[in-house]
Amino acid sequence: MRYYGNKVYFKILFFGTALAGKTTSLRWLYSNVIPRDMKMTSEIKSIETSFGQTLLFDFTPIQISPHIVVRLFTATGQDYYLSTRRMLFEDADGIFFVVDCQKKELEHNREFVVEFNRYLDGSEKLRRSEIIILYNKIDLEDTYPARELGRLLNLEMYPGYEVSALKGINLRESFIVMVRRLLERLEQEARP
Amino acid sequence: MTIAQDAWEASLLAAMWHRNRIVIQASSVDSANALFSLWKYMVPQYRTFVLCGDVPKTARYIKGAKIVEAKEPEAQREAFELSYAEEELGSPPIQIVYFGADPTVLRDVLSAIPQGWIATTTHPPRAWETEKTRVRDALSFADGTFSFLDPIPKDIFIERRLIQDMRDNSEGVRDFKVQLKQSEVHLAFQAMLTELESTGLLTQSYVSEMLNVRERTLAKIMAIGSRERRVDLSSFIQRTDPTIVGFLKEMSSVKELYLAALFDGENLVGYAKYRDINFPSQNFLRIVGAVGAYARCASRTGPLKYVEINTRHLNILVCVHPIVFGFVLEAGPNPLMVRFKVEESLGKLVKAAGTAPSR
Amino acid sequence: MANIKDIIDGIMKRVPEVVGVILIDIDGIPIEVAGRFDMKPEDLGALLSACYNSYAQVGTELMQKLESIIVEYGDLKLCQNRMPRGLLTIIAGKNAHIGMIRLEAKRAIDVLTKMMQDTMEMRTEMVKEMKFRMPDSRGIADILSRFEKEGS
């Protein structure tokens, strides 16, 4: 978290493989969970490259109280933009790791778990961040249940939700848990 | 060693490296064989030695050497032709060495192979010279004579440099340095072949950057490669436009310059490295791509024209004209002055080439 | 005593071709903005930060720390400069003299760096003294209940 002027800023990052559902999750939350008066911009800003319009990242800030701003980012899943992804991890207070539950995506997910662990290993600050796993596409055929996939990916130590980003299943709940944790941390920090 | 000795050693190295046909003549076969042994280290070791004639013990132990045991000239010729033909199927280039060749062998057997053989003999050229085996050049010593049946390659700057560099080295170090350079050139040609298999066409600038070689070295790689693999790549490598070559030469007057690269679309069409630096030219395109991405998010910026990235010791300049020109410079007290010089030369280039230089 | 806003406004006054100056933290949070932009400061901050960081990667490949970037478009010029705790971006019209902008940026950075350090110390004090209105348990519950109610 960062303090500027009379505000506290939190950063929440959606991370995961390409097409795991990061942008869909953020868009669903923006449309269905964030009250209009909290939205600081009229839309989610998407930054794309010139080659084939590959997404670099999405961004939207929300003001949840007069003194608290939460900045929501999605990190690109394209490997070409690995450096951009690494940069987005810096100073993240909360991370939603979006995992594609489809069986065929297991290896791809594993690669991202390796990358994720590398970031955590390299940053004490990041290890203290709030991490929630979103087991997405649970409504599709041929998927792993969250518990099994968590075990296969060695992500069981983090709280997780079975979600459908497309239908919004469990997204609200997981978002509320994330914000609650960040606010409780802020409250603790402010406590004399 | 004298300068004159350096010069003939360089010529001998070039002849062996370019697979030229060589006849070593001395008063006895043993003396001729000894001369071959002395200079054998100049033959690339990745070649497969095909030995024939009265093969001395010292040569029998050459790693991977094939020995043609046949005594009949007809059978020997067939064996050589077969080995030579196998090169076209992808086997390593061969180096035939015939020990103690008589005039019949030289006239009727070896003359059938257009390149890649060395023979030792006691017979002077007048005993074996024919239309097919005409001596083009010769080097004579007290112990014998090297007769070259193919012209000595004209551009032998690499050979000269190597010989000068090895002047005071021991035999082992000379062997190491020659084989290292020859393997490097051989592998560079292989890399070009592999790249061409996937792309079909390469620009000279791209190859220069990929192999980290200048134009002259590239020509050498292609010349030796075409002799060994019998593939002429020159029509598959697009040469750099002379206007661009002129521009890159002019840029060498900017003493702060490390590197310059020009792109037509995504193709590298001009490349020059003035000082040693490790900076892939594709970075220039990445910069333009990123700037474009961010500009699209804002409005009313107009088209991208120029990017300057300043670090403590280096500056990176990228001009979009609309061809992309990228430069890496040493950071100086006045980057504007350098930029002015670069833009002045760029202006001339664009003017000389009309709207935009072609490849 | 001048504050961050005065420094930023000063650049705009001295160089008429400058159309905007924005000071962001290294993560893109807008700290001070002068001039008119057709983007919200939050979006602009995220954009400029991402932009700068992607160039920084190029510097990393050269094992060099990025200090500044200048980008010239057909209609505007942009000069971004690294500071210990942030990023100063000056945006000017196409006719602006880039040397003048460099000079303004250099001067401003020296002052702003010192000023931001002071501000950070003051802020830490304020947090300690509870001058920020931090949400208590009830405040947290209120915020979260808004997420629960929205759209459901």
pLDDT reported for residue C63: 75
pLDDT of residue A4 exceeding 80, the answer is no
Distance (Å, whole) CA B347 – CA B350:
5
Q: Which of B296, B304, B320 to mutate to test the interface with A (most CBs of A within 10 A)?
A: B296
- For residue B118 the two structure tokens come to 């060395």
**B26/B101 same-domain check:** yes
Which single residue is written with the structure tokens 């045991």? B69
pLDDT reported for residue A52: 44
State what percent of residues in chain B have pLDDT above 90: 47
Looking at beta carbons, which residues of chain C come within 8 Å of A182? none
- Between chains, do A51 and B289 touch, taking CB under 8 Å as contact? yes
User: Does residue B4 belong to any structural domain of this protein?
Assistant: no
The CATH number linked to B37 is 3.40.50
B262 CB neighbour count, 10 Å cutoff: 29
Cα-to-chain-centroid distance, residue A85: 12
B265 CB neighbour count, 10 Å cutoff: 10
C27 vs A111, residue with greater confidence: A111
User: Does residue B10 belong to any structural domain of this protein?
Assistant: no
Summarised one tens digit per residue, pLDDT across range B14-28 is: 999 999 999 999 999
**B117/B171 same-domain check:** no
| Structural domain that includes position B252 | 242-352
- Between chains, do B293 and A45 touch, taking CB under 8 Å as contact? no
Summarised one tens digit per residue, pLDDT across range A112-123 is: 999 999 999 988
Q: How many domains is chain B built from?
A: 3
Q: What value of ipTM does the predicted structure carry? A: 0.85
Helix, strand, coil percent values for chain A (each to nearest 5): 40, 30, 30
10 Å CB burial of residue B348 (0-12, 13-18, 19+) is middle
Summarised one tens digit per residue, pLDDT across range B90-126 is: 889 999 999 999 999 999 999 999 999 999 999 999 9
Distance (Å, whole) CA B41 – CA B16:
10
B284 CB neighbour count, 10 Å cutoff: 28
Determine the angle formed by the axes of helices C4-14 and C98-128, rounding to 10 degrees.
170
pLDDT of residue A70 exceeding 80, the answer is yes
Which single residue is written with the structure tokens 């450096």? A83
pLDDT reported for residue B243: 85
pLDDT reported for residue B267: 86
**B229/B315 same-domain check:** no
- Report the CATH architecture of A2-190: 3-Layer(aba) Sandwich (3.40)
Distance (Å, whole) CA A80 – CA A97:
19
pLDDT reported for residue B107: 93
Looking at beta carbons, which residues of chain C come within 8 Å of A64? 143
Q: Of B238, B267, B300, which residue is a domain's last?
A: B238
Please state the rounded mean pLDDT for residues A144-158: 96
pLDDT reported for residue A48: 65
User: Does residue B104 belong to any structural domain of this protein?
Assistant: yes
Q: Which H or E run contains A75?
A: strand A68-75
Summarised one tens digit per residue, pLDDT across range A14-62 is: 999 888 999 999 999 999 999 999 999 888 887 765 544 455 678 899 9
| Structural domain that includes position C10 | 4-149
A192 CB near a chain C CB, below 8 Å? Answer: yes
Q: Of B128, B152, B176, which residue is a domain's last?
A: B152
Summarised one tens digit per residue, pLDDT across range C117-146 is: 776 676 666 666 555 567 778 888 999 999
Question: Which of the four pLDDT bands, split at 50, 70 and 90, describes residue A191?
Answer: low
pLDDT of residue A65 exceeding 60, the answer is yes
pLDDT of residue B296 exceeding 70, the answer is no
Residue in A80, A76, A94 with CA at minimum distance from that of residue A13: A94
Looking at beta carbons, which residues of chain B come within 8 Å of A45? 297
pLDDT reported for residue B248: 87
Lowest mean pLDDT among A132-136, B202-206, C61-65: C61-65
Question: Which of the four pLDDT bands, split at 50, 70 and 90, describes residue A71?
Answer: very high
- Return the partners of chain C (3 or more C-beta pairs < 8 Å): A, B
DSSP A152-166: HTT-TTS-EEE-BTT
pLDDT reported for residue B63: 86
Residue in B255, B280, B253 with CA at minimum distance from that of residue B268: B280
- For residue B160 the two structure tokens come to 């000269």
User: Does residue B187 belong to any structural domain of this protein?
Assistant: yes
pLDDT reported for residue A55: 56
C90 vs B214, residue with greater confidence: C90
Indicate the residue of C59, C61, C76 with minimum beta-carbon distance to B302: C76
DSSP A126-145: HHTSEEEEEEE-TTSSSB--
**B74/B133 same-domain check:** yes
Q: Of B108, B126, B152, which residue is a domain's last?
A: B152
At a CB cut-off of 8 Å and minimum separation 6, what does A108 contact? A17, A100
- Amino acid (one-letter) located at A156: E
Distance (Å, whole) CA C9 – CA B19:
74
Q: Which H or E run contains B193?
A: helix B171-199
Residue in B280, B345, B265, B355 with CA at minimum distance from that of residue B316: B280
pLDDT reported for residue A49: 57
Please state the rounded mean pLDDT for residues B217-233: 89
Residue in B293, C54, C119 with CA at minimum distance from that of residue A48: B293
User: Does residue B13 belong to any structural domain of this protein?
Assistant: no
C73 CB near a chain A CB, below 8 Å? Answer: no
Which single residue is written with the structure tokens 């980008």? C71
Cα-to-chain-centroid distance, residue B59: 28
The CATH number linked to C44 is 3.30.450.30
Work out whether the CA dihedral A117, A123, A124, A126 comes out positive or negative.
Answer: negative
User: Does residue B5 belong to any structural domain of this protein?
Assistant: no
Q: B136-150: string of b/e by CB count within 10 Å (b at 16+)?
A: eeebeeeebbbbbbb
pLDDT of residue C17 exceeding 50, the answer is yes
- Looking at residue B87, the DSSP 8-state letter turns out to be G
Task: Find the largest Cα–Cα distance for chain A.
Answer: 52
**B24/B140 same-domain check:** yes
Q: How many domains is chain C built from?
A: 1
User: Does residue B12 belong to any structural domain of this protein?
Assistant: no
C99 CB near a chain A CB, below 8 Å? Answer: no
**B174/B121 same-domain check:** no
Distance (Å, whole) CA C80 – CA C48:
8
Summarised one tens digit per residue, pLDDT across range B339-358 is: 777 777 777 777 776 644 44
Determine the angle formed by the axes of helices A171-190 and C137-149, rounding to 10 degrees.
160
- Between chains, do C123 and A192 touch, taking CB under 8 Å as contact? no
Residues recorded for chain A: 192
CB pairs under 8 A between A and B: 16
Distance (Å, whole) CA B55 – CA B146:
19
Please state the rounded mean pLDDT for residues C12-23: 92
Runs of H (alpha helix) within B28-147: 29-39, 57-60, 73-86, 103-104, 125-128
- For residue B246 the two structure tokens come to 């002129």
- Amino acid (one-letter) located at B96: I
Looking at beta carbons, which residues of chain C come within 8 Å of B316? 58, 62
- Between chains, do A35 and C150 touch, taking CB under 8 Å as contact? yes
Cα-to-chain-centroid distance, residue C142: 31
Question: What is the rounded average pLDDT for all residues in chain B?
Answer: 87
State what percent of residues in chain C have pLDDT above 70: 88
Q: Which residue of C has its CA nearest to A4?
A: C31
- For residue B134 the two structure tokens come to 């005409």
Question: Which of the four pLDDT bands, split at 50, 70 and 90, describes residue A94?
Answer: very high
A 77-96 → C contacts, CB under 8 A: 83-84, 87, 90-91
Q: Which H or E run contains C5?
A: helix C4-14
